[in-house]
Amino acid sequence: MGSARFDVTGIGNAIVDILAQTDEAFIERHGLVKGAMKLIDRDQADRLSGELTNALMASGGSAANTIAGTQALGARSAYVGKIADDHFGHAFRHDLAKAGIHFETVPLEGKAPTARCIVLVTPDAQRTLNTYLGACSELTPLDVDKEVISASRITYLEGYLWDRPHAKEAFLYAADIAHQAGQKVALSLSDAFCVDRHRREFRELVKDHVDILFANETEILSLHQCADFETAARETRGMCEVAALTRSEKGAVLLRGSETFLVPAERVERVVDTT
- pLDDT tier, 116 (very low <50, low <70, confident <90, very high otherwise): very high
Residue 246 has pLDDT above 70, yes or no: yes
Strand order in the sheet with 252-256: 102-103, 77-80, 6-11, 152-158, 184-188, 212-216, 242-246, 252-256, 259-263
**254-262: long-range contacts (C-beta < 8 A, 24 or more apart)?**
none
The 10s digit of each residue's pLDDT in 34-80 is 988 888 999 999 899 889 988 999 999 999 999 999 999 999 999 99
- Average the pLDDT over 196-210 and give the result: 95
Q: What is the pLDDT of residue 3?
A: 64
Residue 1 has pLDDT above 70, yes or no: no
3-state SS assignment for residue 192: helix
- Average the pLDDT over 128-148 and give the result: 94
Closest CA to 129 of 219, 38, 40: 38
3-state SS assignment for residue 121: strand
Cβ contacts of residue 36 below 8 Å, gap of 6+? 128, 129, 191, 192, 193
Q: Calculate what percentage of the chain has a pLDDT beyond 90.
A: 82
Q: What is the pLDDT of residue 210?
A: 98
Closest CA to 209 of 235, 166, 239, 254: 239
Q: What is the pLDDT of residue 139?
A: 94
The whole-angstrom separation of Cα 5 and Cα 201 is 31
Q: What is the pLDDT of residue 138?
A: 93
The 10s digit of each residue's pLDDT in 70-112 is 999 999 999 999 999 999 999 999 999 999 999 999 999 988 9
The whole-angstrom separation of Cα 81 and Cα 209 is 20
The whole-angstrom separation of Cα 210 and Cα 157 is 9
Q: Calculate what percentage of the chain has a pLDDT beyond 70.
A: 99
- Average the pLDDT over 181-195 and give the result: 94
Q: What is the pLDDT of residue 275?
A: 66
